[in-house]
Copies of this chain bind each other. A is one copy, B any other.
Amino acid sequence: MSAAPTRIYLDGNSLGPPAPGVKERLASFVTDEWDASLIGGWMGHGWWDMPTKLGDRLGALVGAAPGQVIVAESTTVVLYKLLVAALKLRPGRSWIVTEEGNFPTDRHIIDGIASQFGAEVEAVPADQIISSICDGTAVVCLTHINYRSGFRLDMAAITAAAHAKGAVVLWDLSHSTGAMDLYLDRDQVDLAVGCTYKFVNGGPGAPAFAYVAERHISTLAQPITGWIGHVDPFSMSEVFEPDPTIRRMLSGTPSVLGMVALEAALDTWDGVDLVALRARSVELTERFIALADERLVPLGFELVSPRNPDDRGSQVALRHEHAYGIIQAAIAAGVVGDYREPQLCRFGFAPKYNTIAEVDEAVDRIVSLVERGDHLLAAYAVKKKVT
Residues of A that sit less than 8 Å from B by CB: 9, 11, 14-15, 17-18, 22-23, 26-27, 30-31, 34-35, 38-42, 47, 73-77, 80, 84, 101-105, 107-109, 111-112, 116-117, 123, 148, 197, 203-208, 223-228, 230, 233-238, 240, 251-259, 261, 331, 336, 338, 340-341
Q: Which residue of B is nearest A102, CB measured?
A: B238
Contact status A109-B27, CB under 8 Å:
no
Smallest CB separation, A325 vs chain B (Å):
16
Q: Which residues of B contact A338 (CB under 8 A)?
A: 39
Q: Are B207 and A104 in contact (CB under 8 A)?
A: no
Q: A26-B27, A236-B340, A341-B235 are in contact. Are A254 and B38 (CB under 8 A)?
A: no
CA distance in complex: A68, B23 (Å)? 33
Q: How far is the CB of A274 from chain B (nearest CB, A)?
A: 24
Chain B residues in 8 Å Cβ range of A234: 341
Given the complex of chains A and B, what is the CA–CA distance between A224 and B102 in angstroms? 17
Contacts of A116 in B (CB 8 A): 84, 117, 223
Are B255 and A207 in contact (CB-based, < 8 A)?
A: yes
List, in ascending order, chain B residues with CB within 8 A of A34's CB: 17-18, 203-204
B26 touches A223 (CB 8 A): no
A17-B38, A73-B77, A76-B226 known; A101 vs B252 contact (CB < 8 Å): no
Q: Is the CB of B235 within 8 A of A38?
A: no
Residues of B within 8 A of A27 (CB): 23, 26-27
**Complex Cα–Cα for A238 and B108 (A):** 7
Give the shortest distance, in Å, between A46 (CB) and chain B (any CB).
12
14 contacts between A and B (CB under 8 A): A14-B39, A18-B34, A23-B27, A34-B204, A73-B77, A74-B226, A75-B253, A76-B226, A76-B252, A104-B233, A104-B238, A112-B224, A204-B257, A205-B256
